[in-house]
Every structure is written in C-alpha cells, then in structure tokens.
Amino acid sequence: MDEDLCFDLEAMARRIDGQTKIIFITNPNNPTGTFLPAAAIRRFMQKVPKDKIIVLDNAYQEYIDNPDDYVTGLDEIQAGKNVIVLRTFSKVYGLAGLRVGYAMAKPEIISLLNRVKPPFNVTRIGQRAALASLENDNYKNRSALLNRTNKAKLLGQLQNLGLRVIPSQTNFLLFFPGVNVAELNLRLLKEGVIIRPTAGFGIPDGMRVTVGLEEDNEFFIKKLKKVLPGK
Ligand SMILES: Cc1ncc(COP(=O)(O)O)c(C=O)c1O
C-alpha cells in the first residue's frame, strides 16, 4: 500500500519473481475503499509475466464513480490472458446471506477451478435470487445511488469531527479516530454500534464503518460523538 492506502502496483510488480504464481488485486479495495484507475491496472498488467495469474476481485464494482475508468477484466479474459474476475451478489445486490458469487476466466482456468470447487456450492434459491437481481437494474441503481448520497454525508460528518477519512468508492469508509481503537470499539459496542477495527487487515489505528440508511448513520455519528474523547 502507498501512503494514500492504494495498492502500490509499482512495488507489487517489482516483487514478482519465479516463486509468484497468482496476484490478487481488489478494486475497489476492502477495507480501504480505494480505487485503481484503468491506466494503472493496464500498466501493471503489462509488467506481469504472461504465465502468472491475475485475480481481479471486483466485489465493489457497482459502487465506483466512473465506469469508463475501470478495468473489469473481461476484455483481458476474451483476449486469452490469465485473468480471473470475481463478482459477488453480497454487496450492491444485498444477498450476502445467500452466499452467491462467481468467477469468470478462460475455459482452461475454469476447468482447474472446477476440480477443487465443492459440488452444489450455491443453493437453488441463491441462484434464482441472483438471476432475478441481474434482471433488476433498477434495484441495483437505487442501491448504489443511496449509498453514494449517504456516504458523502457520512464522510462530511466524520471529517467535521476532525478525523482522517479515506475517500472511498465502496459502501464503507475507513477512518482514523486518533485514539486507541480497541477501547473505542468496546465503547461503541456497548452503545449498540458494531463497526470493524482494521487491525486484522494490518491497519491498527483504523476503523471501517459500513454506510447504512440515514437513520443508521445518524445513530452511529451520535454514539461516536458520545464515546470519542473531547467531541
Ligand atoms: C473484497 C471482497 N471480495 C469478496 C467479498 C465476498 O463476499 P462474499 O463471500 O459474501 O461473496 C468481500 C466481502 O466482504 C470483499 O470485501
């Protein structure tokens, strides 16, 4: 990661060696929310030797600001490259409880994945719901728009508290409360707020809050002000 908490693709490219088999890029990324523009990904892909596999985890694809500046990976798959694209119905489609997602890649790679994939790993209800979601752009667009509006407001509220917040193209915000995160988290839990300290992701002083409905966000900000010393 660079200092803006974006993937440092130059540094990643330099680390590739004979031992490297597979490279994961999550775009936009969790838990930072940061985004890699198309030119940066394309430049990186040119540097990666052809025999390596690049996985693009596009879980948050539907939330990005500018689809024209996004590498979905589909063109690269069509061109026969060693690229795997991951998508999920857990985010903008709101189906996390049904556990549905999928991978796209060229047939040789899918055949390898099929050898290790457990059979019947997606339920029939999950499949039906996923297909119905794909036919309902209206829901997806409303969900993404609501997220965008509420995220902008939440970002402003956190910044008004004087906190560093990372600009996000996902449905969550990574912020730095400037106090001991484990203690703050306990206090928030006691107030009925569950957000995610990011120590487990290697960001010990950060917290990730998911953008909710307006009343959820207001509740969170109210409780955060209550438990944050001096706010
Ligand atoms: C980057 C990323 N990829 C994939 C997922 C997958 O979600 P699921 O296992 O619910 O499909 C998540 C969910 O948190 C995620 O953050």
195 — pLDDT class (breaks 50, 70, 90): very high
pTM score > 0.85 for this model?
yes
Would you state the structure tokens that stand for residue 4, as one six-digit string?
A: 């803006």
CA of 163 from ligand 1 middle (Å) equals 27
pLDDT at 229 over 90: no
Rounded Cα–Cα distance for residues 134 and 206 (Å)? 34
Question: Which atom of ligand 1 is found nearest the CA of 88?
Answer: 11
Could you tell me if 10 and 41 are in contact, meaning their C-beta atoms sit under 8 angstroms apart?
Answer: no
Phi, psi for 34 (deg, rounded to 5): -75, 160
CA of 95 from ligand 1 middle (Å) equals 11
pLDDT of the residue at 136? 92
Average the pLDDT over 81-100 and give the result. 97
Q: Which ranges in the chain belong to alpha helices (H)?
A: 9-15, 38-47, 74-78, 107-116, 124-134, 137-160, 181-190, 214-227
pLDDT of the residue at 231? 75
Phi, psi for 196 (deg, rounded to 5): -115, 115
CA of 119 from ligand 1 middle (Å) equals 20
User: Tell me: the pLDDT tens digits for 31-72?
Assistant: 999 999 999 999 999 999 999 999 999 999 999 999 999 999
What amino acid is encoded at 84 in this protein? I
Nearest CA to ligand 1 atom 12: 59
CB atoms within 10 A of CB 207: 23
pLDDT of the residue at 23? 98
CB atoms within 10 A of CB 16: 14
Average the pLDDT over 91-116 and give the result. 97
Nearest CA to ligand 1 atom 9: 99
Ligand 1 neighbours, Cβ below 6 Å, are 26, 30, 57, 59, 88, 90, 96, 101
Question: Which atom of ligand 1 is found nearest the CA of 96?
Answer: 10
Question: Which atom of ligand 1 is found nearest the CA of 29?
Answer: 1
**Bridge pairing between strands 164-165 and 172-176:** antiparallel
CA of 167 from ligand 1 middle (Å) equals 20
CA of 229 from ligand 1 middle (Å) equals 33
230 — pLDDT class (breaks 50, 70, 90): confident
User: Tell me: the pLDDT tens digits for 138-189?
Assistant: 999 999 999 999 999 999 999 999 999 999 999 999 999 999 999 999 999 9
CA 34, chain centre distance (Å): 8
